[in-house]
Amino acid sequence: MRTNIVLETNVPGVNPPKRGKVRDIYDLGDKLLIVVTDRISAFDVIMPNGIPDKGVVLNQISLYWFKQVEGIIPNHILSTDISTLPEAFQKAKDQLINRSMIVKKAKPLPAECIVRGYLTGSGLKEYQKTGKVCGIDLPKGLVESSRIAEPIFTPSTKAEEGHDLNISFEEMKKILNDDALAEKVRKVSLDIYKRGRDVADTKGIIIADTKFEFGLFNGGLILIDEVMTPDSSRFWPKAEYKEGVSQKSFDKQFLRDYLETLKDWKKTPPGPVLPEEIIQKTREKYVEAFERVTGNKFGDFRF
């Protein structure tokens, strides 16, 4: 097991990247370099510790899914070959290897595109109050982790800071100011989810819900960011699924569950220092997700 952790990247002689919760994004002029770090966030707070290899796992799982769904929609990937980057980046390749992609410079849509196949999280809370999720009526009697007969598209706002807010499809139309584009985004999101759900099912994984991001490039809609990773999705072991209770998972729900036990932390920055046991168990869950989804042993990245 590698022990190096990339909390942030720094390339001498290059302007600092834009840093998100997990990704460092370098502007290369006509394209972008996205580097997936080992940072981990929960409740919108970045933890002080990183998770070893997490960025590599996320990057490689996304590459797998981008390939799987490219027949549904084009994506933003140009290359993963960091040897094609300017000389300055070659001196920092240890920070970039296996966790980077060179991508098209798309204009991101100002909405998160969430598909739910099972009822949990914020969707469950809303359903318990109203019987609906994002304005969509659901049957009575659903409980924690109930399967939704037909997956639903439940968009949210894209907050620069703080929490995203669930919105209705009609509200998303207003945000995009383009009904035809909104309809296409909804259809494509559902198609990608169903493809991922069916593939994952054969590998013993339930993808309970997931989040997509889209952008416009040369006037066309493309898939950007990440696809069906443990950061953007809930992955449950199919063999242990049981309706009515919270599920075991291969995602960062394990970390959230640990943080919920901390009575002194108010879910505000700074995040608490994570115990070594939590760090290693979280890593194990990410690596297992990679191996189950791709069918490769960790470290085999030939797609």
Q: Mapped to the 3 state alphabet, what secondary structure does the chain carry?
A: CCCCCCCCCCCCCCCCCEECCCEEEEECCCEEEEEECCCCEECCEECCCCCCCHHHHHHHHHHHHHHHHCCCCCECEEECCHHHCCHHHHCCHHHHCCCEEEEECCEECCCEEEEEEECCHHHHHHHHHHCEECCEECCCCCCCCCEEEEEEECCECCCCCCCCCECCHHHHHHHHCCHHHHHHHHHHHHHHHHHHHHHHHCCCEEEEEEEEEEEEECCEEEEECCCCCCCCEEEEEHHHCCCCCCCCCCCCHHHHHHHHCCCCCCCCCCCCCCCHHHHHHHHHHHHHHHHHHHCCCCCCCCC
Contact 102, 80 (CB under 8 A): yes
How would you classify the pairing of strands 205-217 and 45-46? unpaired
Same domain, 248 and 135: yes
The answer on 117 and 97 residing in a single domain is no
User: Which range of residues forms the domain containing residue 40?
Assistant: 18-105
Provide the domain count of the chain: 2
Instruction: Give yes or no: residues 127 and 247 share one domain.
Output: yes
User: Does 197 map to a domain?
Assistant: yes
- Is the same domain home to 112 and 259? yes
Give the CATH number of the domain where residue 224 resides.
3.30.470.20
Contacts for 29-33: CB closer than 8 Å, 24+ residues apart: 30/105, 31/78, 31/102, 31/103, 31/104, 31/105, 32/102, 32/103, 32/104, 32/105, 33/85, 33/89, 33/96, 33/100, 33/101, 33/102, 33/103
116 and 256 assigned to the same domain: yes
Task: Report yes or no on 125 lying in a domain.
Answer: yes
- Based on the fold, state whether residues 151 and 226 are members of the same structural domain: yes
Residues 149 and 230 in one domain: yes
Whether 129 and 173 share a structural domain: yes
Of 65, 86, 105, which residue is a domain's last? Answer: 105
How confident is the prediction along the chain (303 residues), in pLDDT tens digits per residue?
Answer: 445 799 999 999 999 999 999 999 999 999 999 999 999 999 989 999 999 999 999 999 999 999 999 999 999 999 999 999 999 999 999 999 999 999 999 999 999 999 999 999 999 999 999 999 999 999 999 999 999 999 999 999 987 665 678 899 999 999 999 999 999 999 999 999 999 999 999 999 999 999 999 999 999 999 999 999 999 999 999 999 999 999 998 888 889 989 999 999 999 999 999 999 999 999 999 999 999 999 999 976 554
pLDDT at 2: 45
* Amino acid in the structure at residue 118: Y
75 and 164 assigned to the same domain:
no
Domain assignment present for 78: yes
Q: Which of the listed residues 45, 79, 105 is the one where a domain comes to its end?
A: 105
| One domain, residues 124 and 255 | yes
Position 284 in a domain: no
- pTM of the predicted structure, to 2 decimals: 0.93
- Per-residue pLDDT, 303: 43
Is 163 among the domain residues?
A: yes
Write down the pLDDT at residue 160. Answer: 64
Question: Does one domain contain both 53 and 76?
Answer: yes
pLDDT at 165: 85
CATH code, domain carrying 32: 3.30.200.20
